[in-house]
Structure 1
Amino acid sequence: MDVTLRQLGVFVAVTDHEGFGTGAASLGMSQSSVSHALAALERTVRGELVHRDIPVRPTPLGETLLPHARAALAAARGLTAAADAHHGTATASTIGLAVPPTVARGLLPRLLRLWHQHLPDTEVRIYEGLDQELARWLADGTVDAAVLVDPDPHPEGGLLLATDTFHAVLRADHPLAHEESITLADLLEDPLLASTSGCEPQITRLHAQAGLPYRPAQRIRELTTLLAMVEAGLGVAVIPTLAASMLPATLILTPLQPRLERRLVLTGPSNRPWHPHVTAIRDLTAHRTDPASAPTDHPTRT
């Protein structure tokens, strides 16, 4: 099968940008060149890969082949970087890093400063996603690295960045807000607001440990919306301490008992060699930081 990396890159770009014109612009190619390259790939794989509508969407065949295309492109990027490293050639390279929203807010800024200061040839492009999306993006080559939440088993070569715990988010005027710690049973009179953008498996586990049913009154995707609803007095929520910096002054974190931690692990893919620049940021981070409880800069009862 005569497939080229250029054809695969065109396929991924057209799909990701949902159009031939925008895909071509992202690659610095003409739209006609992109159309010809994709048509050639479709002849090779014996079927259409995308629907020629607006927005462009992959066909069933396209959905099947897209992860393979991403993985092949990721492997090619890694091969080029490995060759440069072998020859001692310092070349700039871009790697994709997938992170959950709370990590993007709570840990990422200081990590990006560290990497930029000591590895100026490495550009890290951030992909923010739900916990369940990150491992899939890493496996299919959408990204070169990810910060995974509670990976099981611990990935080979993975670096524990931090652990944090789950707290109740209450209004500062809530009767329980200033307790040393509370239980989920203490909150049964309050509507539970749950975020679907991550951490729901851990919050479900907390309820199971307490012998309580998990019955959120509302399930909200955006964490900022969730916090605004708590601030408005519409209920309470449970979030990890890394999200503390997102809280307004009217909200407070109160520790929950029993205590539940989550582990945040920086890793490359398990199904192909790591991009050398991913190894470099892992090694730098391991030497410059200590895996510890995630810092917070917001009032919390501890």
Structure 2
Amino acid sequence: MTITQLRTFLTVAETSSFTKAGDILHMTQPAVSRAISSLEADLGVTLLIRDRKNGILLTDIGRRMLIHIRDIMIGIEKLEQEAAAEKGLEIGTIRIGSFPTASAFFLPKIISRIEHRFPQLEIELHEGTINEVKKWLASREIDIGIITEPSFEFETIPLYNDKMIALLREDHPLCHKPIICIQDLNDEPLIICKGGNEIPIIDIFEKTETSMNIKFVVHNTGALLNMIQEGLGVAILSELSLITTPPHIVTRELDPMVRREILLAAPSLTECSLAVQLFIRTAQELFCHKEEP
């Protein structure tokens, strides 16, 4: 088997199309088909099924092989990066996965600095839920991810402690208090926003033995804010998630202070490519010293 065969299979699997893979790899469709057939012959297994209704499908062994082939291609890219670094060049691709709040706050500054210093590096962005980022890390679709809360599946590095605040409608009885104790929210109707906000909230209610009355669970900040404006409940939200405070909503500090930990995650930090190591160093330079007091 050859690197070309492995790269072709990986591209077909990720695009679900021989034609798209050929365009990306600058190969004709027959050449793509030959590369896949040769790889299957070398391995003695069928990796792909051509289905008229559903297009290109991976077989069970094809899905398992895909993870190993991604690892092989990452290893080859690391070799190429090491050789380039020896010649004073910085090349390679950084595949980053992030949830929307982190994408908006961290990635523009990190990418801008990397592109300014090393314009030859390519950066691929994958945005989704935190669970999707973890799934992409496990399948090696991305090299580095931004997640919340430590995970035993991956190696992590702390990036930022995101303070959480209370949000209330301006006529709520608790608005007269400059700082809201968690116990003040005992049995208050809560609106919870998924996406990494919920875990530290549940933890602090348990630690303070406060009764948690979850009335609504939403998946975006806009819905949460509109519900507060309609008087449907109060919320606790991370500061990074709140770009601006809408009319008729007030924010208050919490006691005890609640934070959610944002981390960089990778399958193995010691085996990261030089390009990924550069991303990690840049992120730390920009954000590790900027945590809220």
CA distance in 2, matches of 1:47, 1:214: 52
Letter in 2 for 1:279: Q
Distance 1:56 1:145 in 2: 28
Q: Secondary structure at the residue paired with 1:197?
A: coil
In the alignment, is residue 41 of structure 1 matched against residue 39 of structure 2? yes
Paired residue for 2:201? 203
- AA of the residue aligned to 1:37: A
Give deviations 1:203-236, integer Å, cap 9, x for gaps.
3323322334656333333344433443444433
Q: In the superposition, relative to structure 1, how do residues 144 and 244 fare at CA in structure 2: closer, same or farther (>3 Å)?
A: same
Q: Which moved more, 1:77-86 or 1:212-221?
A: 212-221
Classify the secondary structure of the residue corresponding to 1:146: strand
> C-alpha distance in 1, partners of 2:73/2:19?
21
Relative to structure 1, the CA distance from residue 18 to residue 258 in structure 2 (aligned partners, 3 Å threshold; closer, same or farther) is: farther
Structure with higher Rg: it is: 2
Q: 1:84 deviation in Å?
A: 0.8
Amino acid at match of 1:217: K
**Residue matched to 2:166:** 168
Q: Structure 2 unaligned runs (5+)?
A: none
Distance in 2, matches of 1:179 and 1:45, equals 71
Q: Could you tell me whether the CA contact under 8 Å between 1:164 and 1:261 is conserved in 2? A: yes
Q: What's the offset of the Cα at 1:95? A: 0.7
> SS of 1:291's equivalent?
coil
Deviation of the 1:85 alpha carbon = 0.6
Q: Does 1:280 align with 2:278?
A: yes
- Displacement of 1:77 in angstroms is 1.5
Amino acid at match of 2:203: R
The SS at the match of 2:179 is coil
Q: How does 1:110-121 map to 2 (within 5 A)?
A: 110-121=109-120
From 233, 248, 254, give the equivalent of 1:235. 233
Question: Which shifted more, 206-215 or 59-68?
Answer: 206-215
Structure-2 change in CA distance of 1:176 and 1:81 (3 Å) = same
Could you tell me how far apart the structure 2 residues matched to 1:58 and 1:152 are? 29
Cα distance in 1 for partners of 2:36, 2:181 equals 57
- Decide whether the 8 Å contact of 2:97 with 2:146 is kept in 1: yes
Q: Distance in 2 between matches of 1:214 and 1:200?
A: 12
Structure 1 unaligned runs (5+)?
Answer: 296-302
Query: Which segment is superposed worse, 262-271 or 78-87?
Result: 262-271
Look up the match of 1:299: none
Give the deviation of 1:39 after TM superposition.
3.5
2:261 equivalent in structure 1: 263
Read off the aligned partner of 1:199 and give its amino acid letter.
Answer: N
* Secondary structure of the structure 2 residue equivalent to 1:120: coil
1:12–1:70 CA contact under 8 A, matched in 2 = yes
1:194 maps to what in 2?
192
CA distance in 1: counterparts of 2:273 and 2:140, whole angstroms: 11
Determine the C-alpha separation between the residues in 1 that align with 2:107 and 2:150.
19
Q: Which residue of 1 aligns with 2:67?
A: 67
Does the CA contact (< 8 Å) of 1:75 and 1:272 recur in 2?
Answer: no
Residue 80 of structure 1: how far off its partner (Å): 0.9
Please say if residues 195 and 221 of structure 1, whose CA atoms lie closer than 8 Å, have aligned partners that are also in contact: yes
Aligned to 1:93: 92
- Tell me which amino acid in the other structure corresponds to 1:151: P
**Residues 26 and 185 (structure 1), Cα distance of their counterparts in 2 relative to 1, 3 Å cut:** farther
Cα RMSD after superposing both structures: 3.3
Distance 1:170 1:27, change over 3 A: farther
Pairs aligned (count): 291
Superposed counterparts of 1:211-222, under 5 Å:
211-212=209-210, 216-222=214-220
TM-score (norm 2): 0.80
Shift in CA distance, 164/36, structure 1 to aligned 2, threshold 3 Å: same
Higher percent of residues as strand: 2
Evaluate the alpha carbon distance shift between residue 131 and residue 122 of structure 1 in structure 2; reply closer, same or farther with a 3 A threshold. same
CA shift for structure 1 position 79: 1.7
Q: 8 Å contact 1:160–1:291 — kept in the other structure?
A: no
Give the alignment's TM-score, normalised by structure 1: 0.78
Partner of residue 298, structure 1:
none
Alignment-derived partner of residue 144 in structure 2: 145
Residue 8 in 1 paired to residue 10 in 2?
A: no
Corresponding letter in the other structure for 1:14: V
State the alpha-carbon separation in 2 of the partners of residues 211 and 172 from structure 1.
27
Once the two structures are superposed, residues 71-129 of structure 1 have per-residue CA deviations (whole angstroms, 9 ceiling, x without a partner) of 222222222111111232x2443211122222112222222222233333333322223
